[in-house]
Structure 1
Amino acid sequence: AELEQQPQRERGQPSSQSQQPSSVSSQRPRAGAPNPGNMVTILFSAPLVWKDANEQFQPIEMLDFELERELLWQCFKEASMNIDLGFDNATTDRLQATMTKNCGCLHFSGHGHPEYLTFEDGRGGLHWLGVTQLKDLISNGVQGGGAPFKFVFVSACHSGLAGETFVNAGVPHVVCCQQESQLMDSAALAFTRAFYLALAIGRTVKDSFEIGRQAVAVSPSVSKPQEEMQKFILLPKDGNHDEPVFEYLEPVAEWPGKNSNMTLVTSGGTGGAGSSKRDALRKAKSNFMGSSRDFVTSGIATAEQPSLPTPPQGFLGREIEMYLVLNAILSKRLVSLVGNAGIGRSSLASAICQYINDRKSTMTKIETIFYIRARQARGSDRMGSIIYPLHKRLAASGKAPTLPKNADIDDVSQNIFKALHHTKALVVFDRVEMIEGSEEAQEFPMFLSTLFRETKYARVLMTAHRRLGIPSLGGVGEHVFDLDPLNLKNTVRLFGMLCPFIHTGEERRRLIEQLVDPAEAHLLASDAGIGRKSKAVLNILGDGIPSRTFDVAYKMTRDEYDSLMKLGEMDMED
């Protein structure tokens, strides 16, 4: 009926009353000026642990933000409009910064709770942000007391109260999941993809919301789609959502790459249809209509940040260890991660580096990471498996001069110390046991001593079979973390991810129900209180050593798998 009353307006275009929201200037931005209303900030929250009533750390399962981040970037790339897209971590400081910059749209993604939003505390821990705290934060964060955002998307289960809080603060359009609903990941992805694409090409919030719901309804990967689509709500329920979020949209000639900070160029400002991409980029500065901020993707190397190794498939169950080692790194200058072969030292170190690298705006004690994986020393190759690779990384990043291949080790070391003198760097020496018995193993402690004396901020994370065992290195003590095997539940979870006879999430849940006694889920194979059945399961699956679990999963026959499941059905008395 509303469309019939306004025949001149095409579906998806704003009405005359809604073209100029009160919180945004009614004037079209001048050429070359950014439009804050077309800024979108995505805040991801992935705390590692929370504390229970007994002050004990409890793990928080990691969410797959890489998939969601890729999906959002692809949505805006497909639309290719002059929209400024940025990614950050969900701390209260970064939320305040987002409001201070007058960002028009906010997307929050994280774990949900009926009464709280789960923010990060800046050190890998959970910050419970209550509804009252959130209301005070967003109400006081805007100059003049206006609405903090034009649009907010809360991508978390149990987000109804948080959504209402944003509405009460004056946000005219809020999308969230109904409180007390457990949202399926596949449903969230289907909705998000369709919703943001429609919104980014200028459709109204109302139309985009319905398009997102219909995408859930017809998605082949969503179980019970009719039920799932009802869990998305648009607030306020009686609000006027028949208006777009983004204003003065214009197509861009070149959408920035994921790891770039390129300027978007409108198709009409690049000198004609025959202009090349190079011409468009050269003219970008004078034809600015928006930009895409840095999109930091794990594993993509830049001159400033060389490529970091990624954790292997199935890396899980190490949230508490990640938190403890991370906080040791942030407060100490030398941390040794110690454990036997196959227990996952390198995997944990790489996961911690990725976690830090994705939080450059909050973990400011570390600006860059240099990851050196030691190789077997060869003959008289003094320090060749550790020192020369580190210098090579520093030279590649422009922090140290390039030296001849036959440069003296002392010259190489001095260049490293100079390059790191005022650099907030984390240097990771992985698998240091590879140099045991060599000349460089004897000189390595002296190198570390000089490194700590000659630099102010450099930190070292070392993985090895055993600790260095030296009281002081250049005035710095060694903080040792002994890595234990996985507990019963996480060993079974890892096996369930790797086993070729298990294909669906439901089958993995049944596996855990069959093999894991909830009262013993946290126990290790060596714990005194573990029952016979749990101990037998752990023994079959590698006693919590991840590398052994990998081998068992890939070598297990169908008969062996059936026998394992029958073991889960047995009632074994202690």
Structure 2
Amino acid sequence: MSAHHQLANASTPAPAPRRKSLQALRRILRRPQRFSRNKVLPAAAPSPKGEESKELGGTGDISGAVNILLGDSSAAVAPAPATVTPTAAAAPSAPLTPSAPLRVGYLCAEPLVWRSSSDGSLKALPPVQRHQGGELALLKTVLGRAPARVRLRAEPCATVAALRSLLTAGCDVVHYTGHGVRGALTFELEGRAELDVCTEETLERLVAAGGHRTKVVFLAACDSERPGKSLARAGIPHVVCVRAGARLSDRTARAFAEQFYDALCRGKTVKEAFDVATAVDEQGAYLLLPAGACYKHDTVICGDSSEESQGAQIETPRLCPVRGPAPPERLAGRNDAVAEVVRLIGFERRRCVTVRGARGVGKTAVARAAAAFLADRGNLDVVCEVALGDVQTNASYEDYFGLSPARRDDAIQRRIERRLVSVLADALEALSGSPRPDTPVARRVQDRTTITESPDALAKALASSERRCLLVADGVTAENRVAVRRLATRLLAAAPALSVVTTGRVELSAGDLGERVVDLGPLEAASMAELLTELAPRRLSSAEMLDGGDASPYSPGAALSFDRPFSPPAALLGGDVRAFKAFGRHPAVQALRGNCSAAVKFAPELKRPLRHHQALAAAARAAVVEADNEASVGSSWDWACRAMSA
């Protein structure tokens, strides 16, 4: 080779640095996941093959590689290293931004019955919570003292569509309470009190469709491990559920939820909050999914704040502002009747329903429970109840002295009519609030008198208010049903949003109103035994009921199956069925003859041991006689005679 060529080659720079720079640039550009628009990520490990990647530092700045590519080696010096966060394995991820509140969605599925597909009959379900609304009140208390902003949204009706609505609304945490049944979650049917089953496959498709931003799902349901795994497969990062086959008490479930949410709202990670709550879970019934060493669960859902607590913003369901008397907490043996009344009014939109049965079988309790169920789910705005027996017995005999029987009966009918109108007027006034302060007092009295004395004025007020009203007329008899039917016909024709429920031994016979009748028979023996255990002044154990009653073996058999690919566990059958069946054969329970009013009077006698058969049976028969002899109005003439003798 000539000296000229050697000199030219010596003046030409070696291509090795340029080739290495291009390789480093390619390695950087092949890693788009290491660059973030919102934050600086940790530096990448240095490459053993090239020094340029070490000089660039992996900070996301490719200006050094571009300068080397353009030939400016002096500009290849890496910029000052930026402050980076520790690795993800050493510290939790960043919490939500301070401006965004923590959104918590709440669902509580409390169906009353499930329908058998074999015969179409309704089977009762036990209550999800012993005290209705207790868990929601607990969540309000815990979230209300959180140091950060929290927004709680409680759905009035726990349907499958309501779950999807919470996910679509962007709730960070979704809390579900209900019955867990063999790899499925239970919900309510819209407008009905019946159970709706959502299998794990349907649940996975429901959550995956449309996307979500939910980070934590809390399943407060027994045997919810398989639904929890389906939610984890659908993309929920953190799922708290109950292990398959584990049994939970109400006290443990409430304590676990309280500790978990309290720690979560104070800046703890999901794993740390779960560990704090596990301290009160002695049986280890709860699981945190997905499980595995690769899942750290180190996400901070709610950042802790040193400032004063800002309180929680609670979005409670739009409850019925005007209600009638509260129903009993436990309605043993009447869930099917309540569900039927709810279905007729809430789903079929029937406007006239009658609950018919003998005295003391629980007609009033069924009507009140159905009205409360519909009001709790936002289906009603006004619920008012009128005890027709009180309207007649509270009057004095002098009001009808000297009247002929026909005129006296007509006066009683008009008195009942005025009472019904007055109760509805009171409900409308309470719903609309106090009148304007600039309205003259005389005008207020005049408007009030006009509505009270005139059914037509009340009908116009109901039609103009567009409020969904339910009138419960309790105690319809053959003597007063003419007045009730006459007024109901006028009001229902003028107010499309009004519904009427009557209770009594007779129906209204209002064919033009589309009346539906729900008949109640005597309470079954097992249901009467369950009612007595709730009313007893002491706790009746299963062993005592088996020993004191007929302890012959009993098996539920196939009648308690769901007629689906799965069957309900024993927890959904409502207590110890065998003990209730045995207690139902006790002589005292048989002597009550299914009379609920007599059971209330007999319950204090259960302070005695159940083995005292003869004494308890005699007390039960006396309670039945006392219940039958209570003051009641058989006819207007009998009522007048009793008032005169008093």
Given the two structures, how large is their TM-score scaled by the length of structure 1?
A: 0.73
Aligned residues of 1:400 and 1:416 also touching (Cα < 8 A): no
Aligned residues of 1:338 and 1:480 also touching (Cα < 8 A): yes
Please say if 1:470 is aligned against 2:518. Answer: no
**1:19 partner SS:** coil
* Alpha-carbon separation, structure 2, partners of 1:80 and 1:309: 38
Q: Structure 1 residues 329 and 515, CA, compared in 2 at 3 Å: closer, same or farther?
A: farther
Structure 1 residue 45 displacement after superposition: 0.6
User: Which residue does the alignment assign to 2:634?
Assistant: none
User: Which residue does the alignment assign to 1:352?
Assistant: 370
Letter of the 1:324 counterpart? E
Aligned residues of 1:495 and 1:549 also touching (Cα < 8 A): yes
User: Which residue does the alignment assign to 1:119?
Assistant: 187
Please say if 1:393 is aligned against 2:427. Answer: yes
**Match 2:176 to one of 88, 108, 124:** 108
Deviation digits for residues 270-307 of structure 1, max 9, x if unmatched?
A: xxxxxxxxxxxxxxxxxxxxx2112678xxxxxx6124
Structure 1 residue 367 displacement after superposition: 4.2
* Alpha-carbon separation, structure 1, partners of 2:550 and 2:257: 32
Aligned residues of 1:79 and 1:200 also touching (Cα < 8 A): yes
Aligned residues of 2:264 and 2:273 also touching (Cα < 8 A): yes
Q: Structure 1 residues 205 and 124, CA, compared in 2 at 3 Å: closer, same or farther?
A: same
Please say if 1:451 is aligned against 2:498. Answer: no
User: Which residue does the alignment assign to 2:15?
Assistant: none
Letter of the 1:47 counterpart? P
Deviation digits for residues 365-401 of structure 1, max 9, x if unmatched?
A: x444334444323345462332111101111111897
Please say if 1:60 is aligned against 2:125. Answer: yes
**Match 1:191 to one of 256, 261, 285:** 256
User: Which residue does the alignment assign to 1:551?
Assistant: 601
Letter of the 2:151 counterpart? D
Please say if 1:317 is aligned against 2:333. Answer: yes
**2:592 partner SS:** coil
Range with bigger deviation, 130-139 or 396-405: 396-405
**Match 1:49 to one of 113, 121, 140:** 113
Where does 1:76-115 land on structure 2 (aligned, <5 Å)? Answer: 76-79=143-146, 81-88=148-155, 89-115=157-183
Structure 1 residue 547 displacement after superposition: 1.7
Aligned residues of 1:121 and 1:127 also touching (Cα < 8 A): yes
* Alpha-carbon separation, structure 2, partners of 1:386 and 1:409: 11
Q: Structure 1 residues 429 and 201, CA, compared in 2 at 3 Å: closer, same or farther?
A: same
**Match 1:326 to one of 342, 353, 358:** 342
Aligned residues of 1:85 and 1:292 also touching (Cα < 8 A): yes
**2:476 partner SS:** helix
Q: Structure 1 residues 341 and 453, CA, compared in 2 at 3 Å: closer, same or farther?
A: same
Structure 1 residue 80 displacement after superposition: 5.7
Q: Structure 1 residues 406 and 129, CA, compared in 2 at 3 Å: closer, same or farther?
A: closer
Aligned residues of 2:255 and 2:280 also touching (Cα < 8 A): yes
**Match 1:18 to one of 67, 76, 93:** 93
Structure 1 residue 313 displacement after superposition: 5.0
User: Which residue does the alignment assign to 2:471?
Assistant: 428
Letter of the 1:502 counterpart? R
* Alpha-carbon separation, structure 1, partners of 2:342 and 2:368: 11
* Alpha-carbon separation, structure 1, partners of 2:538 and 2:611: 8
Please say if 1:233 is aligned against 2:282. Answer: no
**Match 1:128 to one of 176, 190, 197:** 197
Aligned residues of 2:476 and 2:502 also touching (Cα < 8 A): no
* Alpha-carbon separation, structure 2, partners of 1:192 and 1:505: 30
Counting aligned pairs with the same residue, the percent is 23
Please say if 1:376 is aligned against 2:391. Answer: yes
Structure 1 residue 564 displacement after superposition: 7.7
Please say if 1:339 is aligned against 2:414. Answer: no
**Match 1:481 to one of 490, 510, 518:** 518
Q: What are the ranges of 5 or more consecutive residues in structure 1 without an aligned counterpart?
A: 1-12, 217-224, 256-263, 265-290, 298-303, 523-530, 568-574
Q: Structure 1 residues 413 and 518, CA, compared in 2 at 3 Å: closer, same or farther?
A: farther
Letter of the 1:417 counterpart? A
Q: Structure 1 residues 131 and 560, CA, compared in 2 at 3 Å: closer, same or farther?
A: closer
Structure 1 residue 470 displacement after superposition: 3.3
**Match 2:315 to one of 265, 277, 293:** 293
Structure 1 residue 416 displacement after superposition: 2.3
Letter of the 1:318 counterpart? R
**1:305 partner SS:** coil
* Alpha-carbon separation, structure 2, partners of 1:82 and 1:432: 50
Letter of the 2:486 counterpart? M
* Alpha-carbon separation, structure 2, partners of 1:245 and 1:565: 62
User: Which residue does the alignment assign to 1:418?
Assistant: 460
* Alpha-carbon separation, structure 2, partners of 1:82 and 1:513: 58
* Alpha-carbon separation, structure 1, partners of 2:423 and 2:217: 46
Aligned residues of 1:139 and 1:169 also touching (Cα < 8 A): yes
Structure 1 residue 16 displacement after superposition: 5.3
Where does 1:225-304 land on structure 2 (aligned, <5 Å)? Answer: 225=282, 228=283, 230-238=284-292, 239-247=295-303, 255=311, 291-294=313-316
Q: Structure 1 residues 129 and 345, CA, compared in 2 at 3 Å: closer, same or farther?
A: same
Report the structure, 1 or 2, having the larger helix content: 2
User: Which residue does the alignment assign to 2:210?
Assistant: 141
Letter of the 1:39 counterpart? R
* Alpha-carbon separation, structure 1, partners of 2:452 and 2:538: 55
Range with bigger deviation, 156-165 or 205-214: 205-214
User: Which residue does the alignment assign to 2:57?
Assistant: none
Structure 1 residue 320 displacement after superposition: 1.1
* Alpha-carbon separation, structure 1, partners of 2:117 and 2:468: 36
Letter of the 1:240 counterpart? K
* Alpha-carbon separation, structure 2, partners of 1:506 and 1:70: 35
Deviation digits for residues 129-176 of structure 1, max 9, x if unmatched?
A: 11111111110132xxxx541101001011011111111122111111
Structure 1 residue 420 displacement after superposition: 2.2
Aligned residues of 2:266 and 2:304 also touching (Cα < 8 A): no
Aligned residues of 2:548 and 2:611 also touching (Cα < 8 A): no
**1:46 partner SS:** coil
**2:331 partner SS:** coil
* Alpha-carbon separation, structure 2, partners of 1:235 and 1:338: 51
Deviation digits for residues 183-224 of structure 1, max 9, x if unmatched?
A: 2222212211221222222222222212212123xxxxxxxx
Structure 1 residue 341 displacement after superposition: 2.6
* Alpha-carbon separation, structure 1, partners of 2:483 and 2:194: 38
Letter of the 1:322 counterpart? V
Given the two structures, how large is their TM-score scaled by the length of structure 2?
A: 0.66
Letter of the 2:255 counterpart? A
* Alpha-carbon separation, structure 1, partners of 2:429 and 2:526: 44
* Alpha-carbon separation, structure 1, partners of 2:277 and 2:547: 31
Letter of the 1:421 counterpart? A
Structure 1 residue 518 displacement after superposition: 4.8
Aligned residues of 2:550 and 2:583 also touching (Cα < 8 A): no
* Alpha-carbon separation, structure 2, partners of 1:232 and 1:410: 58
* Alpha-carbon separation, structure 1, partners of 2:116 and 2:483: 45
* Alpha-carbon separation, structure 2, partners of 1:565 and 1:515: 22
For the pair shown, which has the larger CA radius of gyration, 1 or 2? 2
* Alpha-carbon separation, structure 2, partners of 1:97 and 1:511: 51
Q: Number of aligned residue pairs: give it.
A: 471
* Alpha-carbon separation, structure 2, partners of 1:408 and 1:178: 63
Q: Structure 1 residues 484 and 148, CA, compared in 2 at 3 Å: closer, same or farther?
A: farther
* Alpha-carbon separation, structure 1, partners of 2:547 and 2:230: 38
* Alpha-carbon separation, structure 2, partners of 1:387 and 1:500: 41
